[in-house]
Structure 1
Amino acid sequence: MTFQENLIRARSHIVFLAALGVGLGLVLWLEGMGEQPMATVMIPDPTTRLEAVDPLPLAIVGESSERDLEHARIAWTYFENNVDEGTGLVNSANAYPSTTMWETGSYIVAILSAERLQLIDGEEAEARIGKVIDSLGKLRLFDGKLPNKAYHTRTLELVDYTNKPSETGLGWSALDVARIVAAMGLVERNHPGLAPEVEALLAGWDLDSMIVDGELMGTNIVAGEIRHNQEGRVGYEQYAAKGMMLFGYDAYRAYEVKENLMVRDVEGIPVPVDTRLHRGTLPAFTVSEPYLFDGLEFGFDARSSRFATAVYEAQEARYHETGTLTAVSESHLSEAPYFAYATIWGGGAPWSVLSFKGERMDSRRTIATKAAFGWNALFGTEYTDELIDALEIAADPEQGWAEGIYEATGELNSSVTANTNAVVLAALAFRASGPLIRSVR
């Protein structure tokens, strides 16, 4: 038998030995070619870049100036004008008799803030909150479990997004429900005498059905069937999780960020962005709003203070780079399509402005009143002072604060809403006494 024939007969052994040698060489290389060999194969943790962000100090002033109080009185005018006398619920936009659990939570925040600013006394605050709780207890729930996505403020009927009665409803929003639950936590902290009413209300809702394996689950109607879907993206998801945790619900996966976080550089600042799609069609976006709510209502934790600082600093950096005042968030618009997400990052690009359907509409970027007041209360920089000065034209003593100023034209975005005026009040209350979760009694 020739040497060549022997090689052929032994080829399987040779292949095995060669593979063994390659494997051994790889192990020796990983162990011996450096002190940190696994760094070349591990997936980097995106939170590490944000951990390097130096959180800005909070700017709690400890008192209210006369200017602050005048600004607060203008914001409170919105609620004096838009609360239904019969039900005690507030219109989501001026003179539009529809609301969601999100806007109802904003109204609760507005009441507590107005009380701290001494625009109303404790007795009036409790009466207003009690009326809201009473009406919430009368709502017909979607699928008999949780509040529908929208209700008529006068009749308490389930409605669609055009405010027309809907027999079945639209489903429930886990984020909206978490917002009203968070507001009820603030009520218990500031008005413990209302705790029995709060507990009775929440006991009548099937809150367990919207948390599955630590995640927040909403519902939609698709082809006549109820579909469950995970809700929340980085920022909103963690804020909502905190609200549920106030009442002992285990929203641990909603509060965590590592699985769904990426970092994008915007004006040289590392900004937190969600890796998941928004409404299944476009990359998720980053806006100011959830970080404002978190700081003003709960007070930041170590992580959210860094994230909020990055989100704010990217906006200030854009101003220094372009000379254009920047304070962006989601906002109602005074013209079609009447709502837009003005992002720090969204739809795959920085500073994109997106419609509900994901269409770009950058000409409608708004210097948002609520973002300006919120950032000014939280961080109180020279830049935020400049924002407040520029937005004085959005103040209407007869109606409340408008949404802001259209960046492209300098014209007023004249839509007037519950959310914006609630954030103004919460911001001014924060300047005086810190986050709403902190009892000042």
Structure 2
Amino acid sequence: MKRRTFLKWGTAAPLLLSGATAAESTTVTPQNTLVVLDGLDSRTSPPRTAIVLDTFARNGLPITCLLDPSQSQLGPNSALSRTLTQRAEKTPGLVQVVPWVKQLGSMTPYFQARAAYEARRALEAILWGNDAPQSLHMAVSQTIACDMQPIAMAPSGLRASGIRNVLMRPDVSTQVRPEAWDNGVVRIIGGQRVQLQLPPTAYSLPKTQSVERVYYLSAHDLSNLPLARLQAAATAFAQQVLLPDEGPWVSAILASDIQFRDAYDYQRYVGVHFTLRSDATDKEREALMRFRQELALEGLSSSFGDKTSAESAFQYWANLKESHPLDEPLAPLGALGQGPSSSAHPSTPKSYGIAIELSQKREGGLGADNTLRIPSVRVQNVRTVSDTLQTSMGAADSVLSIPAEMLRSKAHQRMLKDALQAVKNDGLSQVVSLSDYVGRLVPTDSYTTHFRRTEAYYPYISQRPQIPNVTEREGLMNDAKVAWSYFEKWTNPKTGLCPATANFSKTNPRLHEAVTMWDVGSHIFALLAAVDLKLISDQHFRHAIEKILPNIAGRRSQGRLLPQGWIATNKFKWGNRNFDGCDAGRLLAALYSLDTHPLSKGLATSTVASWDLKNVVDDGIVHSVEEGTLVSTFRSHCAHYAAWAFRIWGIEAKSPYEVLGGKSASDGQMSLLEVCGHIGPMGAEPLLMEALEFGMSPEAAYLADVLFAAQLEEYDETGRLICVSEGPINSRPWFLYQGLQFDAPGRLWAIDTVGGLEEHRTKAFREEHLAISSKAAYLWSACKDHAWSAKLLSFVRERAQTPYGFASSINEQTGTPSSTYSDINTNAVILQSIAARLRETCESW
């Protein structure tokens, strides 16, 4: 199964993708030129670096230095750090150090924001510890560098961390291509690779071009020249850059000055937020509201909220899903509950948002706790708002935090209004409310939407089912009898195997007489549930199992004895030579439950031991065997489930889901969403089977919450019952994988097929075949205590029952089931879910 592909540019869009900037069409002739020094690491020679930097400074040539913030060997007291910091402090307009994050260009918006935040903090720790000068901090905070990528993601997550300029460093000389993005970020891609050398005539620098000139020097190359000649080589290079023999004169700049020295229309956001004392009177609150309405009439947006208990920072919850009403305060964070990612939740359900912190600290960005830290300026005097803003933040985005008690007099209100109008009209600033400020900067791609939805719903979906009352128990037992009727009717009395699907219409009855090992595993689980529910006797159960086991002895191929890809249900030990790693996972899970059940203890041990399962696990990854070739299972959502099944039999296996370790809760969950987005649409199966069979892993537990929250939100907003999983249909392509697509915006209920044909990926096909899965409804009922689960179960119970088991699904558009079509997995999973519910053993998470 191949994943569907979606365009994931994020929310930003490029305005200038190639060629000239807007400056090309004017009469301005200076060529903006950047000189960049990379390769700075623990192997760099500090004396040689110092010679080059000092020489460039004497000649008036600005240079931007790229430093990898993961250089753990460096620190404020290292020779290289002292070399850089001394010169950056002495000549801040000529020497600048910015972080270099190699893979930034391939990151999604959330991880762009996280990487930029952490890189800037790590770089400042390397260079200055906790004592970075404010002017240097602001320069560093707006610029970052990375390597060029064949296909780069849009830089739509960077402005949340204050980044406005991105250098994409080439390995070899590449034509410069500037990009101006509509989120205010400029990205300069490419540049010319240069080595310092003598004589200077050896340089081949372009004389003129319509875009910025960017020259990259490597600190590693500085050792190629004798120390005594390094200064002369650096002087020659600087002079040739600054005073070319022909062409326009050069305007050499630091990377942080890119947008200020060209026609990129640089603008910043200035948030206006009023803070109220917790003991403010109604009269004071009313006065603030009147003043804010006056500001709004003059085009000056604002927000307000009560002061929080924190002395150094104000913390709030910012709603990102809907516009914030003028008269509604931002909720203080301290009044909100804590969720699975240690970030706050709104006090009302279903409110997308993010925790924010207004701090006078200069750093801003998305922290590991999923809190957006926003640089703020505390206004102490309404007369000096503009000066205070410029002194504290320069031209960077920031928020004005204004105590409401400063507005007691009409004179102060007038002065503040005039000051805010001056900021608005300075040609640089857009005055916005704090909630709007957050909405414009925070990453809003597909993955973060799923993440935030889950956070918003989490407090309301986390309860495990209660013990069924007498009426509910009776209803579940009746459902179990219906599901068991499929096996009673269609199991072959000679082989003990049950067909995969059955169409029992009078006009065209037919059975699909081949079953996969997944189907056989489901049959075994159905028998275990049936005997536990007293639908069959102990003797019947034992006799049925003893018939099935010889049929799955397996077949030897390429020197490996493995269970077969499929076997016939009407013949003894007859099937193909292939092997399916995912299907084997289902079979192994069933055989383990069989082996540990009191009525069949140890019955499957010899069968499993006979298989050469370790021979299909390569580098920890479970593989299938197709026509003798090993094929990885990692591009399927069954890989995690299969890995657990292999492990319970003592065979170590990896899972693509296991990316939570060593990260914050938010970072781990976002990583998991991205992994799943690359695999394809996710449904309830086999996700929820862990809860019934192994106990829920942290990865599956989180993904189950994501899927459940999306289905519940769909119902809340549209009234549609969506319950997606995999299952058969009675027309081509015969089997569908239905699920939530994580790398698509909103809630896309996608469909995938084994063949992955384009005709099965169209919107029309999706709308025609989207269905409510009968087995998934019972899985959710077993694992989630929610009114929606009960409603879904009732819907399926009323519409999907047939004379021989439950119909596989109910068409979402028509509301009708395939009334004469049922399958082994649907009825087995329903039996399994009912048995778990009545045993009260379904794991909560």
- Pairwise TM-score range, normalised by the shorter structure: 0.7 to 0.9
- C-alpha displacement of 1:114: 1.0
Give SS of 2:687's match.
Answer: helix
Which residue of structure 2 lines up, in the alignment, with residue 427 of structure 1?
833
The residue type equivalent to 1:372 in the other structure is A
Whole-Å separation in 1 of the counterparts to 2:660 and 2:85: 33
**Alignment partner of 2:675 out of 275, 281, 304:** 275
Give SS of 2:775's match.
Answer: helix
Contact 2:681–2:742 under 8 Å retained in 1: yes
Give SS of 1:89's match.
Answer: coil
Give the TM-score, by structure 2 length. 0.43
Which residue of structure 2 lines up, in the alignment, with residue 114 of structure 1?
530
Give SS of 1:148's match.
Answer: coil
Whole-Å separation in 1 of the counterparts to 2:832 and 2:362: 48
Which residue of structure 1 lines up, in the alignment, with residue 521 of structure 2?
105
- C-alpha displacement of 1:71: 0.5
Whole-Å separation in 2 of the counterparts to 1:318 and 1:142: 48
Give SS of 1:105's match.
Answer: helix
Which residue of structure 1 lines up, in the alignment, with residue 640 of structure 2?
238
Which residue of structure 2 lines up, in the alignment, with residue 200 of structure 1?
606
Which residue of structure 2 lines up, in the alignment, with residue 375 of structure 1?
780
Contact 1:369–1:404 under 8 Å retained in 2: yes
Whole-Å separation in 1 of the counterparts to 2:494 and 2:571: 9
**Alignment partner of 2:791 out of 386, 400, 414:** 386
Alpha-carbon deviations, 1:41-65, whole Å to 9, x = none? 99x9x99x69965562221526762
Taking a change above 3 Å as real, the CA distance of residues 302 and 353 of structure 1, as seen in their structure-2 partners, is closer
Contact 1:130–1:194 under 8 Å retained in 2: no
Give SS of 1:343's match.
Answer: strand
Which residue of structure 2 lines up, in the alignment, with residue 175 of structure 1?
582
- Within 5 Å, which residues of 2 pair with 1:52-201? 53=458, 56-59=462-465, 61=467, 65-94=473-502, 95-137=511-553, 139-143=554-558, 144-156=560-572, 158-159=574-575, 169=577, 171-191=578-598, 193-195=600-602, 197-201=603-607
Alpha-carbon deviations, 1:335-390, whole Å to 9, x = none? 22221121111684621123333332212001110111110111132111111222
Whole-Å separation in 1 of the counterparts to 2:466 and 2:545: 26
Which residue of structure 2 lines up, in the alignment, with residue 284 of structure 1?
680
Point out the more displaced range, 22-31 or 89-98: 22-31
The residue type equivalent to 2:726 in the other structure is E
Contact 2:676–2:682 under 8 Å retained in 1: no
Which residue of structure 2 lines up, in the alignment, with residue 329 of structure 1?
725
Taking a change above 3 Å as real, the CA distance of residues 39 and 413 of structure 1, as seen in their structure-2 partners, is same
Which residue of structure 1 lines up, in the alignment, with residue 312 of structure 2?
none
Which residue of structure 2 lines up, in the alignment, with residue 220 of structure 1?
626
Point out the more displaced range, 321-330 or 405-414: 405-414
- C-alpha displacement of 1:293: 1.1
Tell which structure's C-alpha radius of gyration is larger.
2
Q: How many residues are aligned here? A: 400
Whole-Å separation in 2 of the counterparts to 1:108 and 1:147: 15
Whole-Å separation in 1 of the counterparts to 2:684 and 2:52: 60
- C-alpha displacement of 1:417: 0.6
Taking a change above 3 Å as real, the CA distance of residues 192 and 122 of structure 1, as seen in their structure-2 partners, is closer
- C-alpha displacement of 1:31: 5.5
- C-alpha displacement of 1:36: 11
Contact 2:688–2:700 under 8 Å retained in 1: no
Point out the more displaced range, 408-417 or 425-434: 408-417
Alpha-carbon deviations, 1:157-215, whole Å to 9, x = none? 554xxxxxx5xx3x2111111211111110122136440x3111012110101222222
Taking a change above 3 Å as real, the CA distance of residues 23 and 276 of structure 1, as seen in their structure-2 partners, is farther
The residue type equivalent to 1:152 in the other structure is A
Whole-Å separation in 1 of the counterparts to 2:49 and 2:752: 61
- C-alpha displacement of 1:413: 3.0
The residue type equivalent to 1:126 in the other structure is R
**Alignment partner of 1:399 out of 768, 781, 804:** 804
Contact 2:518–2:583 under 8 Å retained in 1: yes
The residue type equivalent to 1:236 in the other structure is C
Give SS of 2:462's match.
Answer: coil
Taking a change above 3 Å as real, the CA distance of residues 276 and 423 of structure 1, as seen in their structure-2 partners, is closer
Confirm whether residue 320 of structure 1 aligns to residue 725 of structure 2.
no
Superposition CA RMSD, Å: 3.6
Give SS of 1:65's match.
Answer: helix
**Alignment partner of 1:345 out of 694, 716, 741:** 741
Taking a change above 3 Å as real, the CA distance of residues 273 and 146 of structure 1, as seen in their structure-2 partners, is farther
Whole-Å separation in 2 of the counterparts to 1:365 and 1:238: 25
Q: Percent identity?
A: 26
- C-alpha displacement of 1:233: 4.9
Give SS of 1:217's match.
Answer: strand
The residue type equivalent to 1:56 in the other structure is S
Give the TM-score, by structure 1 length. 0.79
Whole-Å separation in 1 of the counterparts to 2:363 and 2:620: 35
The residue type equivalent to 2:633 in the other structure is E
The residue type equivalent to 1:176 in the other structure is D
Whole-Å separation in 1 of the counterparts to 2:823 and 2:713: 28
Which residue of structure 2 lines up, in the alignment, with residue 28 of structure 1?
127
Give SS of 2:807's match.
Answer: strand
Q: Which structure's residues are more often helix, by fraction?
A: 1
Contact 1:395–1:402 under 8 Å retained in 2: yes
Whole-Å separation in 2 of the counterparts to 1:303 and 1:30: 37
The residue type equivalent to 1:132 in the other structure is I
Which residue of structure 2 lines up, in the alignment, with residue 8 of structure 1?
none
Give SS of 1:340's match.
Answer: strand
Contact 1:90–1:153 under 8 Å retained in 2: yes
Whole-Å separation in 2 of the counterparts to 1:346 and 1:109: 30
Q: Which runs of 5+ in 1 are unaligned?
A: 1-10, 160-165
Taking a change above 3 Å as real, the CA distance of residues 23 and 183 of structure 1, as seen in their structure-2 partners, is farther
Contact 1:242–1:255 under 8 Å retained in 2: no
Taking a change above 3 Å as real, the CA distance of residues 193 and 367 of structure 1, as seen in their structure-2 partners, is closer
Contact 1:331–1:366 under 8 Å retained in 2: no
Taking a change above 3 Å as real, the CA distance of residues 271 and 68 of structure 1, as seen in their structure-2 partners, is farther
Give SS of 2:813's match.
Answer: coil
Confirm whether residue 14 of structure 1 aligns to residue 75 of structure 2.
no
The residue type equivalent to 1:312 in the other structure is F
- C-alpha displacement of 1:255: 6.4
- C-alpha displacement of 1:250: 1.0
